[in-house]
Structure 1
């Protein structure tokens, strides 16, 4: 009974980290209530789930923390936060929530958007802030070299303002097709390579060492000339498995039958 209770608690604990994405996709931490795309958009996000990145703006006035499907800066449900460095205000401003997000992916990029951030005071008609993270392909950048950069804070509009971040990483790049050869393919390649070596060096030996001309330059020409007959003999030996009936004997008239005929023909002789 105790083991059953522990199992149920473990299952509930695991399920508590899973929230729906578009109704039929699950990710740890993230949820996408407005997601209307296909399932192909989600796998590209998997390698980044739970990772957090810090970045300062070029002027050194703000510091940003962006997390992928995880709390940023220790703020619950916040996917991206901003800290004002110039005023010494360490209280983070939420730029978007990871449980209110959107996602779109292409061949070598992924668009992740956090919605529902803190509302603006004087900009963008007082709408909520939102953070856009562009994940782009760069095969030379791994986890050790990956750095988040902020491209702009677009707030000079009446609506649809956003913070734009970019992260380049090799995990966004499309998978290259692998050409794993089967054992059969390897065998065929090796076999034809050996045949080519045999013919090449055999030709050189026949021509320059033995002085052969014409078709005689083919190595083991006599064997290959008779190769078809050898195959036919082998096939005849293996495939024709019927018993040998031997020669048929001629069944003529026996001596006893001749004696009877002589007795029956005596009355025909002239007297």
Structure 2
């Protein structure tokens, strides 16, 4: 039985219950592992061991900010910090997150790190956005979005499960497209492709090498002119055989 063309689109949507239950279970201050087996996010390759990956970047609130995941850094009076807010006008530094006081979670699309200052007075939230193509991190510093609460966004391949070698953590639809083409369609495609190649090659040969013009550009023009008559003769011959009148007449 000839197959018909079938296009099946299978959509897998994560249920609300599953989306809420999926977590990135914290291993240490640098990593967490998804409890559904989809992989581990390890930020140790993202953080700097000597400085901060975000350094003195101004936010809309007119304060400068520095931030570094995993490894503590010091700047001004910010000692062993994950995040630091700088009042450049008065040279005052505020610790806005301790690298040892971090809790990782999963918001349904990205891993989120919540950092608390050593005195508990300030907190920073960093959204780690999975971007498999981002070998070098890109970031957005939003600054103090509400009192004593600071936000950052960092895009990196190291925010992806297994450093970008695994699938992204987002729960979006998985779309699988399966196409099955019938034998008839395959033959039609081959015929059209062969005809196109024949015409193009013939036109080029007649134009470039034979210097033909007009309808003589068409390959084997004499054959194609007589082709309808040949088809007619063939049909009459077959009809004659069916009706018992024999084949072609004797000369």
* Normalised TM-score (structure 1): 0.41
- Using CA pairs under 8 Å that are at least 6 residues apart, name the structure with larger relative contact order, 1 or 2: 2
- Rg larger in 1 or in 2? 1
Q: Which structure shows the higher helix fraction?
A: 1
